């Protein structure tokens, strides 16, 4: 009896091994083809993405006109030169709401420059010069680290760039790190002349003067504040207006990956952010993946938005992984 018990499964395995060998091999090939086409498995590394966020924050607040801003630009260009096929800096002068003019830099990396099918991935790399939403009045003119507001999106995209340098897909991918997103009017200085166009100066410049003449992409994805603990990404309203098909693709991918809790089927408020100008001037359908949790106290953005608390301690590698997996999978499934 004892012997029978052991022999039976072995015989079964042997019989199956010889008789099903051909069929099984065939099945494997079909599965592999499907794997590369529709079931890409993301190896996005959250520790690597976290390090990319920390390295930016370690320069200090990346406020235009400061040494930290200059050093961070060098760092970001170096990373894109390493991972992409080419990388360039688009220099421009930006006039902010105070009338001051700053030398500014959009930092751009290009994968597969000759492919006409392209996707644009972007985030802003500057950090806000003032914590004007800080509850402590003493902090209201203190520059912020912008670990979440700025560095998180850039960190996720740098890790995607590193993954693409390994995966080498055929699709064209352009990465743009926009400067001068966050130099908008200080809360205490808003008046009837404030329009909202004081923000997102880097994307406004690029959308009117793209780095290549007549630049087009199939669609764009902007990341903004993607690194806080337990983020909720609602379907931001401008994104729904300009690029509903991109939203549906991203939210479906997130659901397939088991990330529905972070990407619920819910529409959020419109946000005046870089993607608006890419849609409006460059006419590239672009969505904003932005932490918009209507259940939080301050209405929509993440809790420590434009406060001195937006530092590295608020970054959760798990959140970087969620967003990185989703965006990398969307790109690789194209
Ligand atoms: C305003 O609320 C004016 N802009 C939101 C865009 C933004 C600022 N994202 C990060 N910082
Ligand atoms: Zn901001």
d(CA 251, CA 263): 6
Other CB atoms within a 10 A radius of the CB of residue 70 amount to 15
Ligand 2 centroid distance, CA of 155 (Å): 16
Ligand 1 centroid distance, CA of 36 (Å): 37
Q: Which ligand is nearest to the CA of 63?
A: 2
pLDDT tens digits, one per residue of 19-71: 443 443 444 444 444 444 568 999 999 999 999 999 999 999 999 999 999 99
Q: Which atom of ligand 1 has the smallest separation from the CA of 273?
A: 6
Q: Residues, the chain, total?
A: 334
Ligand 2 centroid distance, CA of 214 (Å): 29
To test ligand 1's pocket by mutation, which of 182, 198, 204, 228 has the most ligand atoms within 8 angstroms of CB? 182
The pLDDT assigned to 299 comes to 56
The pLDDT assigned to 23 comes to 41
The pLDDT assigned to 19 comes to 41
Q: Is the beta carbon of 199 within 6 A of some atom in ligand 1? A: yes
pLDDT tens digits, one per residue of 80-112: 999 999 999 999 999 999 999 999 999 999 999
To test ligand 1's pocket by mutation, which of 273, 275, 288, 310 has the most ligand atoms within 8 angstroms of CB? 273
The pLDDT assigned to 7 comes to 38
- Whose Cα sits closest to atom 6 in ligand 1? 273
The pLDDT assigned to 38 comes to 65
Answer for the pair 175, 152: CB distance below 8 angstroms, yes or no: no
Ligand 2 centroid distance, CA of 2 (Å): 71
Q: pTM of the entire structure?
A: 0.89
Q: Which atom of ligand 1 has the smallest separation from the CA of 306?
A: 11
Q: Which atom of ligand 1 has the smallest separation from the CA of 271?
A: 5
* pLDDT < 50 positions in the chain: 1-36
Q: Is the beta carbon of 224 within 6 A of some atom in ligand 1? A: yes
The pLDDT assigned to 144 comes to 98
Q: Is the beta carbon of 132 within 6 A of some atom in ligand 1? A: no
Answer for the pair 310, 228: CB distance below 8 angstroms, yes or no: no
Q: Is the beta carbon of 273 within 6 A of some atom in ligand 1? A: yes
d(CA 26, CA 24): 5
Ligand 2 centroid distance, CA of 128 (Å): 6
Ligand 1 centroid distance, CA of 255 (Å): 27
Query: Distance of CA 215 to CAs 176, 191, 207, 281, 313, Å?
Result: 13, 36, 9, 12, 38
Q: Which ligand is nearest to the CA of 143?
A: 2
d(CA 87, CA 301): 32
Ligand 2 centroid distance, CA of 332 (Å): 29
For residue 47, the 8-state DSSP code is: H
Ligand 2 centroid distance, CA of 301 (Å): 10
Q: Is the beta carbon of 182 within 6 A of some atom in ligand 1? A: yes
> Hey, is 318 helix, strand or coil?
helix
């Amino acid at each position: 009896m004892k012997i029978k018990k052991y022999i039976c499964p072995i015989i079964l395995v042997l019989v199956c091994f010889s008789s099903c060998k051909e069929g099984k091999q065939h099945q494997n090939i079909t599965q592999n083809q499907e794997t590369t086409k529709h079931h890409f498995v993301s190896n996005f590394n959250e520790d690597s993405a976290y390090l990319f966020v920390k390295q930016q924050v370690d320069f200090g607040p990346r406020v235009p006109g400061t040494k930290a801003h200059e050093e961070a630009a060098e760092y970001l260009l170096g990373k894109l030169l390493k991972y992409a096929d080419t990388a360039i800096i688009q220099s421009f002068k930006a006039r902010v709401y105070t009338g001051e003019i700053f030398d500014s830099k959009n930092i751009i990396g290009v994968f597969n420059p000759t492919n006409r099918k392209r996707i644009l991935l972007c985030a802003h790399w500057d950090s806000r010069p003032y914590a004007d939403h800080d509850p402590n009045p003493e902090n209201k003119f203190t520059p912020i680290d912008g670990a979440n507001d700025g560095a998180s999106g850039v960190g996720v995209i740098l890790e995607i760039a590193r993954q693409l340098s390994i995966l080498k897909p055929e699709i064209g991918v352009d990465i743009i790190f926009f400067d001068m997103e966050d130099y908008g009017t200080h809360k205490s200085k808003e008046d009837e002349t404030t329009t909202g166009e004081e923000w997102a100066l880097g994307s406004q410049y690029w959308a009117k003067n793209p780095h290549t003449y007549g630049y087009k992409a199939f669609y764009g994805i902007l990341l903004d504040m993607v690194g806080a603990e337990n983020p909720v990404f609602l379907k931001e309203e401008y994104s729904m207006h300009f690029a509903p098909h991109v939203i549906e693709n991203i939210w479906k991918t997130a659901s397939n990956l088991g990330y529905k809790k972070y990407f619920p089927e819910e529409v959020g408020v419109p946000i005046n952010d870089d993607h608006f100008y890419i849609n409006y001037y460059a006419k590239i359908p672009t969505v904003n993946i932005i932490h918009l949790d209507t259940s939080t106290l301050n209405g929509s953005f993440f809790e420590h938005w434009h406060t001195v608390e937006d530092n590295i301690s608020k970054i959760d590698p798990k959140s970087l992984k969620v967003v990185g997996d989703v965006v990398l999978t969307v790109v690789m499934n194209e």
